[in-house]
Chain A
Amino acid sequence: EVQLVESGGGLVQPGGSLRLSCAASGFTFSSFWMTWVRQAPGKGLEWVANVKQDGSVKYYADSVKGRFTISRDNAKNSLYLQMNSLRAEDTAVYSCVGGAAADYWGQGTLVTVSS
């Protein structure tokens, strides 16, 4: 069974940092691009970042470029998102997504940026 389990969310003050993790199982993690997607309360889906199978290529949404860093550890079947300089508008559920056709989604972890 495919599983993507995110962790690391929580309440953080504006300007603060968080590191999200996503543990993958049930599929060949190293074979796929991996993605972080977020969804603010009551809003639509927003793509955050992608990382290639070997970690050599990364893309970021303009809204997070320069503040967030996506990375992966294929030996640990894990995906990460380092989030710095957090803003109120970063408040959302962050989900990791994988598979050949964005087939696999985690349940997400809630990040709340508030003072």
Chain B
Amino acid sequence: QAVVTQEPSLTVSPGGTVTLTCGSSTGTVTSGHRPHWFQQKPGQVPRTLIYDTSNKHFWTPARFSGSLLGGKAALTLSGAQPEDEAEYSCLLSYSGPWVFGGGTKLTVL
């Protein structure tokens, strides 16, 4: 099965902008991989922030956006808040089977 790669850790300043990426060992990530992004805080269940590349749930703060960038899926946080400190995981679908990335620990500092 494919391997999905994410940055292990990133740091962003409060109010700053950061982009997390999600790559596939099989090549370019496309909308057909239906990229999803999940946020997980310690002791909590993951919640979906972005689905199908760029769609948001009603609970997704406007400062989060999803896109395809340079052959990868990307999650951009514009105007980081302290409460955005969390683990972010991407998910790619390979026509049925899923693969999660290893997760990015985002620090807001």
Contact = CB atoms under 8 A, between A and B. Distances in A.
Q: Chain A contact residues (Cβ within 8 angstroms of B): what range?
A: 20 to 34
B80 to A, nearest CB: 22
B89 A95 contact: no
A44 B102 contact: yes
Nearest to B94: A59
Contact of A47 (B46, B47, B87, B99): B99
Interface in A58-72: 59-62
A62 B46 CA distance: 23
A59 B55 CA distance: 25
A103 interface: yes
B48 interface: yes
A47 B36 contact: no
Nearest to A100: B51
Nearest to B50: A101
Contact of B103 (A45, A105, A106, A107): A45
User: 6 shortest A-B CB distances, which residue pairs?
Assistant: A101-B51, A47-B98, A44-B103, A45-B100, A105-B45, A59-B96
